[in-house]
Structure 1
Amino acid sequence: MTAPSRWRAATIRAITPVTPRVKSFRFTPQPSPFEGPHRAGQHVDVRLTAPDGYQAQRSYSIASAPGDPAGLELMIEGLEAGEVSGFFDTVAEVGDEIELRGPLGAFTWGPEEGGPVLLIGGGSGVVPLLAMVRERALHAPEVPMLLIYSVRSGAEAIARAELSARSRDETGFDLTLLLTREGATAGRRIDRVMIDTAIECLGMPRHAFVCGGNGFVGAVADLLVDAGVRPSAIRTERFGG
């Protein structure tokens, strides 16, 4: 898919808290501000322009499934030093207009690609994977999919209630939630045993998607290869350090 390169205006339609630090922002319903629906896993560039002409931009993964009638959804974490995230955290209001460019990126999955699909996310890296989970539920419920989600605490887990409900109610979708700083799994990281258990439950994945920080993604990708997943089946998206 060729991404539109021009910037387009988008209006914030709704703002909803997701975790203590993350908010959901819904924008103008699709296909506007894009020429067509995105693919699950893609991102957009967001640009803000100050009255004096200063501009700041940042990339954010799309959380909504393609064609969601509720509009394009971004889940944005408020960061103390973040120019763009700080605006969304403390300034942005419903009705505000910003600029978006996209959709962008090849970190994508669609129903036509089939499965089994193994998703592994760390922290806010779960957002593009959430779009894939939602896309599966809408258009390919027969595709086996399993999500391993590593996050520091239950309170910080993005869409925890939704993912838990899908795991309970949707045949063929399973969730492994790893809380690294609380409860029985405090101090644990995703390891070979967890990967092997996921593959035993899911089957050898036809596609594996890993998203998170650089160190997280590198370590998990190595574990997948060690477990016998074809390197060509592994796609990664890295967020910062």
Structure 2
Amino acid sequence: MPFPSARPALIYTAACLGCAGGVRADERDEVRTVLFGSLDAGRSTFVSAGAKYAPDGVDRDGVVALATLGYGTRTERDWWGDPRAAAGGRPPRVSRHTVLAGAVAGRQWMHDWGVVAVFAGPELAFEVLDSPGTKRLPAPRLGARVQAELWARPSEATLVTATFIAGTARGSAWGRVSWGMQVAALQGVGLGAAYLGPEAALYADLAGYRKWSLGLHATDVALPAALPADLRLRVSAGWVYEEQIRRPGVYGTLTAWLPL
């Protein structure tokens, strides 16, 4: 996983869309806070957690704030710092460790067909290569982050999403689009209705890392009654291509969010 600025970004607005089985303001006290977390697994891994806060309620027009913290690792060859590369050899793969934190604020606009939101704010990045060429820990980098999201329901049975995130701390950009059709609850395994369909994503950063992915997702999955009633999941899996490795692989993601 290539460390997008805030990997669960696509989930931030789920609690205010009123999707299948979603939380609605007339069913409970006003929801102002949503907790979330996500895990991406593949050749690289990224895990993150955070919170969304909307003073006027997550299902209303108004100001919204997001805070996230994540850690990830991926492998690469240190062609610039490893002494073996300077001597004309091929350096072994080493791990790049990255910590990302961000706090953005913006506004969301609710419509009958869905929600649009835009955010901006600071981000902090710290990354280090586990390589012989790394003589000391680098200083964290402070930058700016912008983010835009769209959740739309062209019909009662379909869901379209689009998310874009860019940050200057690592010189990175990430985008994803998805489409889904509502399917009935899987009563045999205790799962509620969800939206199923394809997704596509692209990530790039100034370190020269590029990644494309294409897969299938299940969004707004309601869990069995034994678990918290408002807990929802997004799961996806598919094919991924990373330019530095130059061969296809597979990925899987899991995201959970809980309105408070």
- The bucket for the TM-score relative to the shorter chain is under 0.3
State the structure with more CA Rg. Answer: 2
**What TM-score do you get using the length of structure 1 for normalisation?**
0.26
Relative to its length, the structure with more strand (as a share) is 2
Relative to its length, the structure with more helix (as a share) is 1
